[in-house]
Amino acid sequence: MKIAASVSLLVVLAAICGARQNPSSPESAAELQTGITLTGKGDFAAAIPHLLAARGHVREEYAAGFDLALCYVGTRRFKDAIAVLTAMTGGPHDADVYNLLAQAYVGNGQPQEAFEALEKAVDLIPRNEKLYLFVADACADSQNYVLGLRVADLGLRNLPQSSRLHYQRAMFFARTDQLDLAKPEFDLAATLEPGGDIAYIAAAQQQLLAGNIAEAIRAGRDGIKNGHESTALLTILGEALLRSGLVPGQPEFREAEAALEKSVTDRPSDAGVQINLGKLCLMKNHLEEAIAHFEAGRRLAPANPAAYSNLAVAYRRRGNPEQAQQMLAILSALNRQQQERIAAAPGDHKAGYVNDGVK
């Protein structure tokens, strides 16, 4: 589970950029401020036309251009983001520009360009932990775990005591089926921040990945009891409870529901959270709610097989066999693509592709 979702982190950057705006007219000021406000709320699609209207009509073009690129990344319009950002390099904010450009390249399936853009950002501010975390999250979202390992390794060369980068490294090892390498990284992440939120997150996630569901639940509950009710920890707890075999009506079911509902409120752009909450709705036979969450997960992570398999079940139950069949057809195509990726992957990473995207 990621420590923070990429889009949520983008919102933070949007707020920073908004403070720099200096519009040249009341009309452009209104457009820019509306775009900034919508971006800060995560309503990226609605913000785009306002930011487009402001561009070219404000003294500080950086704010309008950068926020527009943020919105393009948030709506998965990666090529548009790349076009905006490549035209913005060479200014005083190059570290932020190159970092967001790296995220856009990751989303657009251009790993080498992504890493080169990150290196340019790192050359400017090598000890800024967020540079690495932002791009690592983008790699996790795009299921490019091999690139994610390169990003984490780069970060740890400059910040060897970063608990969060060690946690990210552990997650990428786990996703490439290298659990023997993941374990010491989880342990180190917890050791570097004893009693902190990352310690509980690492412990709970490690147990969840190992299939020790009861221990994952215990670690999650311990963290929350000790005041670490982070979105990441709630998400892990919710998933662990979901895997424990709970049924509607049990106290544990409501506990899982509360954890995932809070997670999806705090992090609506996390596909895994949307899908897991949809599973709980499906268990209660609340089909419309389940479909809404599964469709959200599908939009956020089009390559996640779990979205389509669960949508097929939900649509079939709702009496829509044609839509269910469409989901199964997409799932079949994804499985074929996955087999091609397995065949083309280096030997050490083949096994890790088997469960890509499955929540």
pLDDT digits (tens, 9 = 90+) for 281-310: 999 999 999 999 999 999 888 888 999 999
List the beta bridge partners of residue 58.
23
Asked if residue 350 lies in contact with residue 178, where contact means CB atoms within 8 angstroms, the answer is no
How far apart, in whole angstroms, are the C-alpha atoms of residue 64 and residue 143?
Answer: 30
Q: φ, ψ for residue 58 (rounded to 5)?
A: -130, 150
- pTM metric for this prediction: 0.81
For the chain, the distance separating the N- and C-terminal CA atoms, rounded to the nearest angstrom, is 10
Task: Look at the domain 278-359 and name its fold.
Answer: 1.25.40
How far apart, in whole angstroms, are the C-alpha atoms of residue 305 and residue 299?
Answer: 12
Sign (positive or negative) of CA dihedral 110, 235, 309, 349: positive
List the beta bridge partners of residue 23.
58
CA triple 178-182-185, angle to 5 deg: 155
Tens-place pLDDT, residues 216-247: 999 999 999 999 988 999 999 999 999 999 99
What are the residue boundaries of the structural domains of the chain, listed by start? 278-359
How far apart, in whole angstroms, are the C-alpha atoms of residue 53 and residue 38?
Answer: 14
Q: Which of 29-33, 83-87, 155-159, 246-250 has the lowest mean pLDDT?
A: 29-33
Q: What are 322's two structure tokens?
A: 């044609």
The residue ranking higher by pLDDT, 62 or 213, is 213
Confidence of residue 341 (pLDDT cuts 50, 70, 90): low
Asked if residue 359 lies in contact with residue 276, where contact means CB atoms within 8 angstroms, the answer is yes
Q: How does the average pLDDT of the chain come out, rounded?
A: 87
Q: φ, ψ for residue 109 (rounded to 5)?
A: 75, 35
Which pLDDT value is given to residue 28? 84
Alpha-carbon Rg for the chain, nearest whole angstrom, is 21
Please tell me the total number of residues recorded for the chain in this structure: 359
C-alpha torsion angle, residues 192, 194, 197, 199 (rounded to 10)? 70
To 10 degrees, what angle do helices 61-74 and 44-54 make? 150
Confidence of residue 345 (pLDDT cuts 50, 70, 90): low
Q: What are 66's two structure tokens?
A: 């950068």
Q: What are the residue ranges of helices labelled H in the chain?
A: 6-18, 26-40, 44-54, 61-74, 78-86, 94-107, 111-124, 129-141, 145-158, 163-175, 179-192, 197-209, 213-225, 231-243, 251-266, 271-283, 287-300, 305-318, 321-344
> At 307, which amino acid appears?
A
CA triple 236-240-242, angle to 5 deg: 115
- Rounded mean pLDDT of 153-177? 96
